[in-house]
Chains A and B, each alone.
Chain A
Amino acid sequence: MWKFVVRRILIMIPQLVVLSILVFILAKVMPGDALSGLVETPGVDSSTIEDMRTTLGINDPVHVQYLNWIKGLSQGDLGTSYIHQRPVLELLEARLWNTVYLSAAILFLTYLIAIPLGITAGRFHDSLIDKLIVGYNYITYATPLFIFALLMLFVFGFQLQWFPTGGSADINLEPGTFSYYMDKIYHLLLPALSGALLATVGTIQYLRNEIIDTKMKDFIKTAKSKGVPEAKIYSHHILRNSFLPIAAFLGYEITGLITGSIFLESIFSYPGIGQLFLQSISQRDFSVVTALVMVTGVATLIGTLLSDIILSLVDPRIRVE
């Protein structure tokens, strides 16, 4: 088991190198840089701007820039934001955690809703309840997140005023206290619920189909012929086998959540990396954008790593020595 995990982590190293090169190239081929918008600014001389470019290292050969960037990365230095004039790491830290909280909340709520619904639909497939659940799935699949989130915000935030309409915590509360954390959760609920209600589609559909499939398998007949009661057949044989694809998709789910939170964060004015990402792109804040893409990429790799570890825990066939 440990061998498998270590080997799986070693595989990540070349993946990280390739990822970093891709991210760097993509950022470089984007037209303009953080200073191009300043050219037209009155009072700023174009030679001054050229001087600034040299100081910032933008005029260096590409490979030198890449190596400098990697050197910084390996020391935990993500560079300095051109726009904010602050270290990127500092800029990211608070927002990154907010996004992680939001994603975790969405993931938790998604599974909380999707797993019981998926199991019910699969177990009683073609019944009325199954048709209702599949109907719900079609509707949520077809609903765009940015409209649904706006609607949720309008109804539950502004009309009913059950939830706050923006921010991640009340500024009057002392960070670190119990009520501060409760308030953070309170702020999370509405965006997380909006995201989760739509994110359930994949999990419900997969679980349902997988259960219907597994029900027909020969080993279920074997279990039945042993005299195992139906409820136990579900809990001991069908469910564990049906959860395999859900476990396999956990990694992609995590990636999707982190990138998908861009809409949610903008709509709910929630200070996470999504918001920062949009701003940084429009301002050509090169170092922040590359840092963010890098972070998302690493999150993806960690997500797939998690998937593989979970899969190897539940499926003995994957534990390759």
Chain B
Amino acid sequence: MSNDDILLQVEDLTTSFRIDEQFYPANDHINLDVYENEIVAIVGESGCGKSAFGHSIMGMHHQEQTKISGKIHFKGVDLLSYSNTQLNKVRGKEISMIFQDPLTALNPLMIVGKQIEEGMKYHTKLSKNKRKQKAIEILNEVKIPQPERVYSQYPHELSGGMRQRIVIAIAIACEPSLIIADEPTTALDVTIQARIIDLLKELKRRMKTSIILITHDLGVVSEMADRIAVMYAGEFVEIGEVKRFLKNPLHPYSKSLLYSLPSKNNQGEKLHVIKGVVPSLNHLQRQGCRFKPRMNGTDDSIHEETPTLREVEKGHWVRCTCYKHFHIENSHQVVEEEKDDVFQGQ
């Protein structure tokens, strides 16, 4: 992929939230490129800053509670230099968002057709009738049966899976070039999940859209994404192609995540557990390797003092040098040692 294909270039992005009159960065000097027509997955535990990242791109944060610095280049402009009114021309039209919980993401008092049309009202010059026609077409595209009827139904009359399709329909209504999907399958049951994933893949293929997929489900990542960026405590710790990443994860955090998944290779064994939880923003130790406190007593010498993201092979970036010394040789043994911490870890 060449530089010409870059759709979105995030440069040195820092997003800080206010807690008790002080600002704490939830995204700390982040860099990420998103190419045209690709799906980038952003994975990590709850509270590691994935959603904050997605929201930053679209300027969705509360202005008084957040401070953002850095650059977000999108199609030749820096979105961070845009005012809210200017951003309204980008939101929904160029970049749109798919939300996690389809039960709450729709206005309960508005028929779903109108909710799909709403974006077109501000971004296109289509007449009322044309908009309705288009909305029904889109309902068809997201595989809603009887789109004419569903057009004038209220969200509470639809099932969870149908509602998620409506949420997707809203996101693709104006054919954006980038969709940020914030855990699009988390609130759905497994069979529906699979269908939503297929739908997203198909839409991406047909519309040539790029998708930033925010998730903590590595299964979804392996099925959908082209590249993966692992986030920990507000930083990317590893970025690479999904296939290569799944075969050969480097960073201790990535490895731990993968080893904590059940698979064919570890049948009958206890799963790996990462000690502790992601520290909250105002208790995070920002010096040195941020994953160190959860690595079970490693020596300081294997960590960098100021870890940076380095390209270790083409297109594969890893933060800190500690990955060279971290092995989960026998997952069985690891579990034995940490037995007492299993419940804390969850």
Taking beta carbons and an 8 Å cutoff, which residues of A are in contact with B?
A: 217-219, 221-230, 236-237, 240-241, 314-317
6 contacts between A and B (CB under 8 A): A219-B107, A226-B92, A227-B90, A236-B118, A241-B108, A317-B154
Inter-subunit contact B107/A229 (CB<8 Å): no
Partner of A222, one of B88, B109, B167: B167
When distances are taken between beta carbons in the complex, the residues of chain B under 8 Å from A314 are 109
Taking beta carbons and an 8 Å cutoff, which residues of B are in contact with A?
A: 58, 60, 84-85, 87-93, 96-97, 99, 101, 104-110, 115, 118-119, 122-123, 154, 156, 167, 170-171, 173
Please, which residue of chain B has its CB at the minimum distance from the CB of A219? B107
Please, which residue of chain A has its CB at the minimum distance from the CB of B90? A227
Q: How many contacting A-B pairs (Cβ < 8 A)?
A: 79
Inter-subunit contact A225/B118 (CB<8 Å): no
Inter-subunit contact B99/A222 (CB<8 Å): yes
Inter-subunit contact B96/A225 (CB<8 Å): yes
Known: A227-B93, A229-B85, A229-B88. A222 touches B105 (CB 8 A): yes
Inter-subunit contact B97/A225 (CB<8 Å): yes
When distances are taken between beta carbons in the complex, the residues of chain A under 8 Å from B171 are 225
Inter-subunit contact B92/A316 (CB<8 Å): no
In the complex, besides A221-B60, A227-B89, A317-B154, 4 extra interface pairs with C-beta distance below 8 angstroms are A226-B173, A236-B118, A240-B109, A317-B156
Inter-subunit contact B118/A316 (CB<8 Å): no
Inter-subunit contact A316/B60 (CB<8 Å): no
Inter-subunit contact B105/A219 (CB<8 Å): yes
The answer for the CA separation of A218 and B97 in the assembled complex, in Å, is 12
Please, which residue of chain A has its CB at the minimum distance from the CB of B88? A227
In angstroms, how far is the closest chain A Cβ from the Cβ of B111? 8
Inter-subunit contact B154/A226 (CB<8 Å): no
Partner of A218, one of B87, B93, B99, B110: B99
Known: A222-B99, A226-B170. A241 touches B92 (CB 8 A): no
Please, which residue of chain A has its CB at the minimum distance from the CB of B104? A218
Inter-subunit contact B109/A227 (CB<8 Å): no
When distances are taken between beta carbons in the complex, the residues of chain A under 8 Å from B108 are 219, 241, 315-317
The answer for the CA separation of A228 and B174 in the assembled complex, in Å, is 13
Partner of A227, one of B104, B105, B107, B119: B119
When distances are taken between beta carbons in the complex, the residues of chain B under 8 Å from A219 are 104-108
Inter-subunit contact A227/B92 (CB<8 Å): yes
Considering residues A227, A240, A317, which has the most beta carbons from chain B within 10 angstroms of its beta carbon?
A227
The answer for the CA separation of A159 and B96 in the assembled complex, in Å, is 63
Inter-subunit contact B122/A237 (CB<8 Å): no
Inter-subunit contact A226/B85 (CB<8 Å): no
When distances are taken between beta carbons in the complex, the residues of chain B under 8 Å from A224 are 60, 91
The answer for the CA separation of A240 and B111 in the assembled complex, in Å, is 13
Inter-subunit contact A223/B107 (CB<8 Å): yes
When distances are taken between beta carbons in the complex, the residues of chain A under 8 Å from B87 are 227
Partner of B107, one of A225, A230, A237: A237
The answer for the CA separation of A225 and B98 in the assembled complex, in Å, is 9
When distances are taken between beta carbons in the complex, the residues of chain A under 8 Å from B173 are 226
The answer for the CA separation of A225 and B78 in the assembled complex, in Å, is 18
Please, which residue of chain A has its CB at the minimum distance from the CB of B103? A218
Partner of A228, one of B101, B122, B167: B122
In angstroms, how far is the closest chain A Cβ from the Cβ of B66? 14
Known: A225-B60, A227-B119, A229-B122. A316 touches B156 (CB 8 A): yes
Inter-subunit contact B122/A226 (CB<8 Å): yes
Known: A219-B107, A224-B60, A226-B118. A316 touches B170 (CB 8 A): no
The answer for the CA separation of A315 and B84 in the assembled complex, in Å, is 31
Please, which residue of chain A has its CB at the minimum distance from the CB of B89? A227
In angstroms, how far is the closest chain A Cβ from the Cβ of B121? 8
In angstroms, how far is the closest chain B Cβ from the Cβ of A291? 41
When distances are taken between beta carbons in the complex, the residues of chain B under 8 Å from A316 are 108-109, 154, 156
Please, which residue of chain A has its CB at the minimum distance from the CB of B109? A240
